[in-house]
Amino acid sequence: MKKIGIITSGGDSQGMNACLKTIIKMAERYNIEVIAFFGGYKGLVFDECKTVTSKDADMYFSVGGSFILSGRYPPFIEKKEWDKAKAVYKKHNLEALIVLGGDGSIKAANDLSTLDMNIIVVPCTIDNDVFCTSKSIGFDTAVNNAVNAIDNIQQTMKTNGRVLIAETMGRHCGEIAMHAGLCSEADIIMIPEKKQDVEKIVREVGKQLAVGNTSPTLVLSELQINIDDLAKKITETYNKECKAIVVGYIQRGGSPTVQDKLLAIRMGVGAMDCVLNKNYGCVVSLVKEEIKFIPFEKAIKAKYKFNEELWQTFLELKRFKTEKKKSKKSK
C-alpha cells in the first residue's frame, strides 16, 4: 500500500478534522501517502488536490468544518462524472479512497465502487440519518449547540412571558429536534416521525397556557411547517407574543464535543484498518458501541429505527410537568 485519497463530502460536521488527522497520522505510520481532494466529489472530478501530512491537520483537530473543504456536487448523479472521477483515481495510482460524508455520499461511493474503485466511507453528518450506524460524527456536537442556543433564548423568552418556537436542522430526520427538545425541557416537540398538524400544535400551546405555563417552548425539526406562520397563528389565537427562531448553522459550527472526537478517532482508525486489510466497499459504523464495517448495499438499505422509548420519556415528563402546574394553579 503506497497511496490513498481522501475527501469530505456534503454538509460539514464537527469532528471531520479530527477524523482526517487520525487517518493521516495512521497512514504516515505505514508510509502511505495521502492525497486530499478539495471540496468533496467535485474536487475528485476536477483533480483539485494535494498531498497532506499530519502537520497540515495539526491545528484543525479541535476545529469544526473540514480543512480540505466539503460540499455537494449535484452533477455527480451522472455516469460521465463517475468516469472522470475514476480517471483521476487512476491518474494518481490510488489504491483506495476514503470518503467522509452522509447518506448521499454513501450512495455516490457505492456508484463509484461499481467502476472497480476501492472505497470506504466514514459517516459524518449532524443529522444522524445514516441508519447503519447508531451515531454519526457531528451529531452530538450539533445537539449540544442546539441545546445551548435554545437554553439561552429561553431565558429572555421566560423573562418576557413569550412563547418560543425553535427550529432545528435534521432534514427529514427528527433526531436533533428530539434530543435537543428533551434536553432543553421543551413543552412541545414536533418531528417528522410523529406527525402533528398545525391545529393540534396550536391547541397544545393553549393547554400549556391554561395550566399556567406563561412561556411554552416548542422545538420543531425543519421542513415540516412555516414557523413564522405558526408564530403568527399562536399570537392571534391567544393574544400572546410568540417568537420563531431558526437555530440554523450554529448547529454545524464550533469545536467537536469529546464524544464526537472519540467517535472520529475510532472511526478514523477503523477506516485505516479497512485500507490495510483491503476491506473495501463498506461504511465504518458504530453498532452496539463497537466499530463494525457494513457493506454499501446493506448500509443503503438500512432502515431507520426511531427511538420510541425516548419519545415516551418526553411524553411522560410533559405529563408530569403539566400535572404539577395544574396542582400549583389550583392552590
Q: What amino acid is encoded at 117 in this protein?
A: M
Which are the contacts of 227, defined by CB distance < 8 A and separation ≥ 6? 165, 167, 220, 244, 246
CA angle at 83 for the pair 80 and 87, rounded to the nearest 5°: 145
Length of the chain, in residues: 331
Q: Which of 11, 85, 4 is nearest to 42 (CA)?
A: 85
* Beta bridge partners of residue 167, listed in sequence order: 220, 246
* Beta bridge partners of residue 246, listed in sequence order: 167
DSSP state of 124: B
Q: Let me know if 187 is exposed, middle or buried by CB neighbors in 10 A (0-12, 13-18, 19+).
A: buried
Residue with cell 470506504: 120
Q: Which of the residues 12, 103, 111, 127 is marked catalytic?
A: 127
CA angle at 74 for the pair 70 and 76, rounded to the nearest 5°: 90
- Distance CA(297)–CA(19), nearest Å, equals 24
- Contact in structure between 168 and 219 (CB atoms under 8 Å): yes
DSSP string, 23-51: HHHHHHHTT-EEEEETTTHHHHHTT-EEE
Q: Which of 79, 128, 101 is nearest to 6 (CA)?
A: 101
Q: Are strands 290-295 and 282-287 parallel, antiparallel or unpaired?
A: antiparallel
Q: Which of 50, 52, 38 is nearest to 7 (CA)?
A: 38
User: Is 127 considered catalytic here?
Assistant: yes
**What residues are annotated to the active site?**
127
